[in-house]
């Protein structure tokens, strides 16, 4: 296991693309030394190893939504919040890391540099102090401005401690040279959340208004990053954050993002709009899912996770086309959404899925019928494991009910949405 050191430079609250040239902070020019030009990428004598085959980073933007309200919790709990740009990578050494966790985050507690591996590793034990064999990272931050915490003078630097690797594999997220972001730190200048060390933001942003609170400044930077020209991984993280924070002011820039020619960028914009409750985006989101493009897997996962939370009955016509998707997961998503909408108008379209080729979809159809008709009780529904033991019993029961009672009761007042 090779530990690494990491260097950051906080660029006077202005994040120019690499190589940056100049900007300003309250009228003061930024030194070119902090623009990324001429800054050592690795510390002398400590070359950074190549990082290959690692899991996606930046929160959970590559694997679906982050735990709800994670950014908000970090804004509330982190005593230090700074913005900056990664400018170098250095190494320090191996150690044993003790951590604590709750239902939303995992944070460092102590590091024993005299012991490179714990005698009895405890991994991922909720509610306990876990022990990990890690490499210690030292992030050097040249601070031009601090969003939260004791402000440092312009150009001062501070070291931020970070960790990597258990048994030679990547455990937490890495920073890459040139990344711009908001970094959440604890009182000892360590990342406040090991699974969410920073929030990437777009390059070239202006200074936030001086009268903003720390939370207001982070929200402002995040919304300002919602641009069609923002790199997709950064954009996805910012969309994730505005969803987490419930920022309705993000709707207008997200609509601009949706108009991008890049399908991945547009898909991220649709994800944000649907998750923030913009009903006008739902038809386009459904069309995006029904017409998949190569390389859009993550956009589909994110959109699916947003659509499944819809509950407005007026959106039934927009969502119903998903029932005809060749993708079993989308058919299942549609049934779950229609169940949440609880509108009997969808029953004639749901009944045929009792004979769907996929058993999980058949189960979702049964559960949707039961919920909408007020029959979600043991007589008409069972849990998935029990259903698998004798699915035909329940499916036949529901089919018979529709033919003998349901069709007459619901077809008279309900029409399939067009």
3-state secondary structure of 179: coil
87 band by pLDDT with thresholds 50, 70 and 90: confident
User: For residue 331, is it within any domain?
Assistant: no
CATH number at residue 148: 2.40.50
Listing DSSP states for 49-78 in one string gives PP--SPPP-STTTTTSPPSTTHHHHHHHH-
Rounded to whole angstroms, the Cα distance separating 396 from 394 reads 5
Please tell me the predicted confidence (pLDDT) of residue 129.
Answer: 58
User: For residue 303, is it within any domain?
Assistant: no
Of 236, 270, 276, 240, nearest in space to 71 by CA: 240
Kindly report the number of other CB atoms within 10 A of residue 295's CB atom: 9
| Average of per-residue pLDDT across 63-86 | 74
pLDDT reading at 321 higher than 50: yes
Please tell me the predicted confidence (pLDDT) of residue 399.
Answer: 96
User: For residue 367, is it within any domain?
Assistant: no
Pairing of strands 80-90, 146-148: antiparallel
User: For residue 11, is it within any domain?
Assistant: yes
Rounded to whole angstroms, the Cα distance separating 400 from 121 reads 57
Pick the range with the lowest mean pLDDT from 180-189, 214-223, 302-311, 370-379. Answer: 180-189
**What is the radius of gyration, based on Cα positions, of the chain?**
25
User: For residue 383, is it within any domain?
Assistant: no
Q: What is the DSSP letter of 1?
A: -
Mean pLDDT score across all residues of the chain: 77
3-state secondary structure of 226: coil
Of 191, 271, 274, nearest in space to 237 by CA: 271
List, as own/partner pairs, every contact residues 350-359 make where C-beta atoms lie below 8 angstroms and the sequence separation is at least 24, other chains included.
350/323, 351/398, 351/399, 351/402, 351/406, 353/323, 354/395, 354/398, 354/399, 355/395, 355/399, 356/328, 356/331, 358/328, 358/331, 358/332, 359/388, 359/391
User: For residue 90, is it within any domain?
Assistant: yes
Q: Which two tokens stand for residue 396?
A: 């036949």
- The reported pTM is 0.76
User: For residue 180, is it within any domain?
Assistant: yes
User: For residue 252, is it within any domain?
Assistant: no
How far does CA 398 lie from the centroid of its chain?
Answer: 39
pLDDT reading at 92 higher than 50: yes
The tens digit of pLDDT for each residue in 356-390 reads: 999 999 999 999 999 999 998 999 999 999 999 99
The residues near 155 (Cβ < 8 Å, ≥ 6 apart) are: 31, 34, 142, 143, 144
How many domains does the structure of the chain reveal?
Answer: 1
Contact 243, 65 (CB under 8 A): yes
Domain residues for the domain of 168 are 5-52+66-94+134-203
Please tell me the predicted confidence (pLDDT) of residue 299.
Answer: 93
The tens digit of pLDDT for each residue in 128-174 reads: 557 788 888 777 766 556 788 877 655 667 677 788 755 444 555 56
**More confident position, 15 or 256:** 256
């Amino acid at each position: 296991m090779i530990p690494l050191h990491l260097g950051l430079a906080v660029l006077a609250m202005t994040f120019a693309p690499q190589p940056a040239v100049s900007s300003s902070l309250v009228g003061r020019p930024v030194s070119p030394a902090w623009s990324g030009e001429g800054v050592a990428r690795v510390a002398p004598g400590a070359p950074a190893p190549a990082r290959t085959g690692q899991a996606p980073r930046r929160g959970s933007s590559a694997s679906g939504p982050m735990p709800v309200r994670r950014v908000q919790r970090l804004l509330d709990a982190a005593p230090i919040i700074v913005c900056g740009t990664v400018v170098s990578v250095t190494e320090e050494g191996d150690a044993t890391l003790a951590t604590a966790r709750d239902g939303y985050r995992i944070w460092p507690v102590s590091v024993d540099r005299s012991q490179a591996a714990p005698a009895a590793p405890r991994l991922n034990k909720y509610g306990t102090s876990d022990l990990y064999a890690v490499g210690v990272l030292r992030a050097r931050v040249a601070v031009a401005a601090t969003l939260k915490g004791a402000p440092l003078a312009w150009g001062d630097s501070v070291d931020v401690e970070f960790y990597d690797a258990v048994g030679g594999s990547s455990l937490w997220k890495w920073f890459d040279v040139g990344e711009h972001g908001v970094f959440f730190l604890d009182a000892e200048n360590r990342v406040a959340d090991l699974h969410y060390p920073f929030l990437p933001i777009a390059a070239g942003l202006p200074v936030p208004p001086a009268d903003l609170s720390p939370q207001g400044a982070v929200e402002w930077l995040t919304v300002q990053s919602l641009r069609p020209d923002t790199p997709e991984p950064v954009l996805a993280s910012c969309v994730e954050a505005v969803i987490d924070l419930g920022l309705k002011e993000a709707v207008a820039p997200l609509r601009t993002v949706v108009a991008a020619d890049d399908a991945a960028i547009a898909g991220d914009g649709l994800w944000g709009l649907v998750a923030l409750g913009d009903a006008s985006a739902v038809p386009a989101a459904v069309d995006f899912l029904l017409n998949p493009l190569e390389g859009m897997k993550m956009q589909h996962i994110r959109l699916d996770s947003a659509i499944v939370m819809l509950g407005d009955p007026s959106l039934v016509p927009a969502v119903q086309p998903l029932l005809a998707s060749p993708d079993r997961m989308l058919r299942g998503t549609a049934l779950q959404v229609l169940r949440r909408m609880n509108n009997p108008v969808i029953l004639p379209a749901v009944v045929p899925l009792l004979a769907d080729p996929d058993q999980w979809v058949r189960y979702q159809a049964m559960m949707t019928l039961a919920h909408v008709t007020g029959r979600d009780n043991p007589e008409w529904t069972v849990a998935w494991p029990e259903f698998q033991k004798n699915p035909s019993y329940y499916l036949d029961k529901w089919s018979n009910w529709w033919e003998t009672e349901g069709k007459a009761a619901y077809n008279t007042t309900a029409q399939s949405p067009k």
